[in-house]
Amino acid sequence: MNKIRIIALMSFAISSIVFMDLTYNYFNATFTELHDGIIISGVFGRLIYGDSNWTLSAFFSGFITSLRIMIILGIINIVLACKSLLIKN
């Protein structure tokens, strides 16, 4: 049970980092008046989108997908923590 909790917590941490990077990428692309057109920023944005597919809707889709994954992993971590507390008591 502890190994599952550790894996779930590590997955949540990694998904949080990817989410923050894709959020930065999306909001940076949203404010085009700060630079010339839509640009890609962050580490994971370049890995996911490559050198093409730089559209605001693609950035938004990546942002929403990463948000959903992070929420699901967060709920899984909460359930596992509650289950662990119930087993101890």
Q: Is the pTM of this model over 0.85?
A: no
Query: What pLDDT, on the 0 to 100 scale, is given for residue 37?
Result: 67
Q: 88: which 2 tokens?
A: 């101890």
Residue 5: closest CA among 82, 65, 61? 82
User: What is the tens place of the pLDDT at every residue in 18-70?
Assistant: 999 988 888 887 877 766 667 777 788 777 877 776 778 888 888 899 999 99
Contacts of 14 (CB under 8 A, 6+ apart): none
Question: For the chain, where are the alpha helices, taking DSSP H only?
Answer: 2-30, 43-49, 56-88
Q: Specify the DSSP class assigned to residue 1.
A: -
